[in-house]
Amino acid sequence: ETGVTQTPRHLVMGMTNKKSLKCEQHLGHNAMYWYKQSAKKPLELMFVYSLEERVENNSVPSRFSPECPNSSHLFLHLHTLQPEDSALYLCASSQRPLGTGEVEQYFGPGTRLTVT
Amino acid sequence: GDSVTQMEGPVTLSEEAFLTINCTYTATGYPSLFWYVQYPGEGLQLLLKATKADDKGSNKGFEATYRKETTSFHLEKGSVQVSDSAVYFCALWMDSSYKLIFGSGTRLLVRP
């Protein structure tokens, strides 16, 4: 596997279910990101982990719970979601920003989540 | 706050037509600017970037010039192909921040 992979690619869940999204990067990066992509809205940054420490939490509801056990893996645990949470969830990775601006983020293909 | 504004799509062109997708930004400092492309069913891929004023990013026939005076980073291509059909996102990155701020995306449809 190369680049950034995400599983599952598609997920349908009820509002009372608990599920997890998984992201894995094979690029040797040390920062990882979760984004939410909804129709006709800009990408929304949800969480950022740098060196396995959460450094950004963009006012995301507590029904979304991230976990970063190591620099290669990132999870998003989902619990008691709402229909408006249906979206494409994208994971990305990069080197830890050092203030130079020379930072590129590499994205996975996303998980298409539908909440019924 | 910092933000990116893109022209609304979809933009529909015939093959070999000239493409321009407008992007303007608002930022308190001097951001780095990026164009990302998202093909159907895939994640975003970096297309090109520019890190300071007057820099020109280029890749796969696409170009964009960082214009500080007009706070713009318009994407251009001289002759589009059907395979260029995708959604294009303009984005900015501020130094000392972890935030890549995206525009809302512009869908490009290229017809044979």
The answer, yes or no, to whether residue A101 has pLDDT greater than 60, is no
Percent of chain B scoring above 70 in pLDDT: 96
Is A22:A75 a contact under the CB 8 Å cutoff? Answer: yes
How many angstroms separate the CA atoms of A90 and B62, rounded?
25
**Mean of pLDDT values over A32-61:** 85
- Nearest chain A residue (CA) to B33: A101
Q: Strands B32-38 and B86-93, how do they pair? A: antiparallel
Which 3 state secondary structure label does DSSP give A85?
A: helix
Between A and B, how many CB-CB pairs are < 8 A?
59
Check if the beta carbon of residue B33 is closer than 8 Å to that of residue B92: yes
| Angstrom distance (rounded) from CA B15 to CA B61 | 14
Question: Beta strand pairing status for B75-77 and A111-115?
Answer: unpaired
pLDDT tens digits along B42-52: 889 999 999 88
**Which structure tokens are listed for A43?**
């990408």
* Gyration radius from chain A CA atoms: 14
B57: confidence class by pLDDT, cuts 50, 70, 90: very high
Residues B25-52: b if buried by 16+ CB within 10 A, e if exposed:
bebeeebbbbbbbbeeeebbebbbbbbe
Q: What is the mean pLDDT of chain A?
A: 89
Query: Cβ of B100 and A31 within 8 Å?
Result: no
Q: Which of chain B's residues have a Cβ under 8 Å away from the Cβ of A107?
A: 36, 43-45
CA B33 – CA B51 distance, rounded (Å): 6
Q: Which of B44, B92, B99 to mutate to test the interface with A (most CBs of A within 10 A)?
A: B44
Q: Per-residue pLDDT for A53 more than 90?
A: no
DSSP code string of B46-110: EEEEE-STT-EEEETTEEEE-BTTTTB--EEESS--GGG-EEEEEEEE-TT---EEE---EEEEE
> Would you say residue B5 has pLDDT above 60?
yes
Q: What's the average model confidence in pLDDT over A16-20?
A: 92
Return the higher-pLDDT residue of A98 and A19.
A19
Q: Tell me, what amino acid is at B93?
A: W
Burial of A84 (0-12, 13-18, 19+ CB in 10 A): exposed
Provide, rounded to the nearest whole percent, the portion of chain B with pLDDT above 90. Answer: 75
Handedness of CA A12, A15, A18, A23 (dihedral sign): positive
DSSP state of A84: G
- Does A45 reach chain B within 8 Å, measured CB to CB? yes
Of the candidates B51, B82, B45, the one whose C-alpha atom is nearest the C-alpha of residue B64 is B51
* Integer angstrom CA distances of residue B3 from A14, A21, A25, A29: 35, 29, 28, 26
